[in-house]
Structure formats: C-alpha cells, structure tokens
Amino acid sequence: MNITQATIFPLSIPLIEPIKMSREFVRDAKTVLLCLTDEEGRQGWGEASVAPLMTGETLDSLLGSVKYLVENAKSYEWKDPKNFAQIFSSILYGNASAKSCFEMALLDLFTQRQSIPLWKYLRLENKLSHLADPKPIPLLRMLGGSPEKEVADAKTYRTQGFRHWKIKIGSLSLAEDMERVAMLSELLDGDVISVDANGALSLSDAIRFCESKQASKLSFAEQLVPADLALSDFIELKKKSLIPIGLDESIHGLAEIEEFIKAKAFDGASLKLIKTGGVLEAIEAAKVLKAHNLGMNLACKIAETSLSGAATAAIGFALGEVPWGFSMSNQYLQFDICDQALTANAGHLDVSQLADSGIGIKPQESRVKDAIAKGYALIQC
C-alpha cells in the first residue's frame, strides 16, 4: 500500500455549550483531520485533537508534526500494521498525537483493502474471535454548570438511557464539589458515577475527598492530582482512598500502566488515542488493564468528531466490554463533519453504526472544508 496524496485539515468546531474544566474553559474543538489517498484511489481518514494540558499540542504544533510525518512517510510501502509504529519512530521522535492521526488514516485504508471493519480486524489480530458478538458500548455523559443545570441534565439524559456519568470537579472549593457530588450521587444512585479533577487537587485535598462520605457512592475518581507528582504520592492516595482511583493525564501508554501496576497505585485508566500514539498501542494497553482486572474508560478529547469516536470505539467492540464507559465527545459539538454521525441509542453506541469496512464512517469533505479554523487553510502534500 502506497500513499499518493495527503490533505491536512486544521478544524475549529464550536461546542453546543462551553465546557468548564478545572484548568481550562473550552468553547470550540480544535482538531486536525488527515485524508490519505492510496494508489488505487481509496481514501483513509485520521484525526487528532489539540490538548495543550495533556499532550502539549496546539493546533500549530500538531499541524507541523502531521505535515512533517506525512511528507517523510510517503516514500514508504505500508504492508503490515505491526510495523507502522517502528516506521513512525524512524521518522519522528515522540509526537504521539500526530502519529495517532497518521496511523488512523493508514488503518482505515488497510482495513478497507481487506474489506473488513476495523473493530473486526482488531479482534482477529488480537486473537479475540472466540468472544461473542459485541454488545452496545455504554456512553459516558459529562455533567457541569450550575447545580440546577446538572440536576436537569442528569434527569434528561437518564430518561434517554445514559447510566455512566462524569462530574467535573476542581474549579470550585472542595466543600462545594463534595456537596455537588453527594447530591448527584444520590440522584443517580445505582449508575456508574465518576468525578474528574484533571489533576487540580492537592494530595491532601484528594485524600480528604476520597475518604469522605460524600464521595462514597462513586464508581471511581479520575486524575485527582497532578500527573507530575511523585509515584509515592499516588501510592499514598491509593492506600487511603475508599473509592477506586482512575488515572488519565498520568497514563500515556504501556510504560506508565506497567509502572503503576507494579506500584499498586491505581485501579484503572482512561485511554485516549492522542496519548497512546494510536489504536494499536491503545488496544495493547487495554488488554494489559483487562488482564490485571483493572478498570478502563475509552475517551476522546473534548471534542473530537465521529471519525475519532469510531476509531476509539473499535477498541471497545474488539474487546467486547468497556467497564468504565466510553466518552464519545462528538455529542458536545454543534455539528459533526460526518454525514452519518455516531449517535447514542438508549445511552449506548451500537456496533451496527460501524458495519462498513475501514473505520466505518466517512467525513463529508464539504463539511470538513466549512469547518477549517479561521486564519488557516488546508495543506496538500
């Protein structure tokens, strides 16, 4: 398989409503789409979003890395996905987000040529064919805003079938957050409820939170403390916490997962393609978590389109389960760039939406062009 043409699209898509996190306020989703064309005229698509506080990527830096990778990778023949990562590393050090974007587009092309959906290819390659047909993946819904809005949203989405929740904490006082968590936990009793501080709490406040009665009904707490704390601090938090500890910003791939497993410092992790460097590393990480009976959440950054959502969901369908839910973030966009956008069905994503070969979903190029970020232009390589 050879790449004859590549087009890079820098996008900015407004959110339905701004999302306030502990360390940032997001009004629009900045993401990079890549379209690769092979020698037979097929098109494969990839996506990666900016995440300055998670991967260090801005729109400019991500664009530069994707362009560099594409320009230097066009001369290669892409035969076996098992060799993709090695080729990427021979061209560019680090830059997991750019590599994820490129790998996604290559996998889309490769599985189209094989006439197989990506999730089925992942299942076959990971010797998971013995598993039953994949069940719908539970979608995780974020809650935020005023207490009145959170309660109204929780009631609305619960009637639609959502049973997995994430409460953003860390931008208010600890006492206010504990009160919110207690109220919502009571309202959503019996569901999978989590909080996410994006590393905003001090170790002492995180311990106080995890020992509190208000947090006792939570299924897990995600990234309460900064990722750059010493491993000993994570060990202390895990030992003192009365609820499971999940990690996000601290986990970028297998190396960190193995380190935290050895230290017995967490109960599960959130996996994002922009952190792991792509689908293939992410499913390896997911298999390790599963082998150690640890929790797993699959997630897209705030907010990626249906394209990245489909590639991420392929991991869950290949494995057959996502115990901590799937954060499918296209649901927060004012519009999607795919004609057949991924949609929730009773709070779940059905595998039937990814029945086509390849990733299973295609961007509509005119919509993509309409979403190009102000001051930017598409890049052809």
Provide DSSP, 109-160: HHHHHTTSBHHHHHHHHTT-TTSPSPPPEEBEEEE-SSHHHHHHHHHHHHHT
147 and 196 within one domain: yes
Q: What secondary structure does DSSP assign to 63-107, as a single string?
A: HHHHHHHHHHHTTSB---GGGHHHHHHHH-SS-HHHHHHHHHHHH
In this predicted model, what pLDDT tens digit does every residue of 118-140 receive, in sequence order? 999 999 999 988 888 999 999 99
| CB proximity list for 63: less than 8 A, separation 6 or greater | 8, 10, 32, 376, 379
167 and 19 within one domain: no
Which secondary-structure segment (H or E) carries 371?
Answer: none
CA distance 266 to 295: 9
- Does any domain span residue 187? yes
Mean pLDDT, the chain, integer: 94
146 and 103 within one domain: no
128 and 84 within one domain: no
Whole-angstrom CA distances from 115 to 46, 121, 232, 256, 351 are 18, 10, 48, 35, 16
CA atoms within 13 A on the CB side of 86: 6
> Before 377, cis peptide (omega within 30)?
no
- Does any domain span residue 62? yes
- Does any domain span residue 258? yes
Residue 27 maps to which CATH number? 3.30.390.10
257 and 133 within one domain: yes
Q: What is the pTM of this model?
A: 0.94
Give the length of the chain.
Answer: 381
CA distance 349 to 135: 9
What helix, strand, coil percent values describe the chain, rounded to 5? 40, 25, 35
Instruction: List the domain range (segments joined by +) for residue 88.
Output: 3-115+365-380
pLDDT, position 145: 84
144 and 37 within one domain: no
- Does any domain span residue 360? no
In this predicted model, what pLDDT tens digit does every residue of 85-114 receive, in sequence order? 999 999 999 899 999 999 999 999 999 999
Order of strands across the sheet that contains 192-196: 140-143, 164-168, 192-196, 220-222, 245-247, 268-271, 295-299, 326-327
Query: 57: which strand partners?
Result: 51
Residue 335 maps to which CATH number? 3.20.20.120
Query: 13: which strand partners?
Result: 29
Q: What pLDDT band is residue 56 in, cutting at 50, 70 and 90?
A: confident
148 and 50 within one domain: no
Is the predicted pLDDT of residue 363 greater than 80, yes or no? yes
Count of domains forming the chain? 2
CB 114: neighbour CB atoms within 10 A?
Answer: 14
- Does any domain span residue 23? yes
pLDDT, position 65: 95
pLDDT, position 66: 96
230 and 341 within one domain: yes
Is the predicted pLDDT of residue 80 greater than 80, yes or no? yes
Return the DSSP state at 300. Answer: -
Question: Phi/psi of residue 230, each to 5°?
Answer: -65, 150
304-330 exposure pattern, b = at least 16 Cβ within 10 A, e = fewer: bbbbbbbbbbbbbbbbbebbbbbbbbb
97 and 16 within one domain: yes
Q: Are 47 and 222 in contact (CB under 8 A)?
A: no
Is the predicted pLDDT of residue 22 greater than 70, yes or no? no
Q: What is the residue whose two structure tokens read 């390790």?
A: 288
83 and 143 within one domain: no
- Does any domain span residue 359? no
Whole-angstrom CA distances from 256 to 103, 125, 252, 308 are 21, 24, 7, 23
CA distance 172 to 197: 10
64 and 146 within one domain: no
346 and 214 within one domain: yes
In this predicted model, what pLDDT tens digit does every residue of 230-289 receive, in sequence order? 999 999 999 999 999 999 999 999 999 999 999 999 999 999 999 999 999 999 999 999
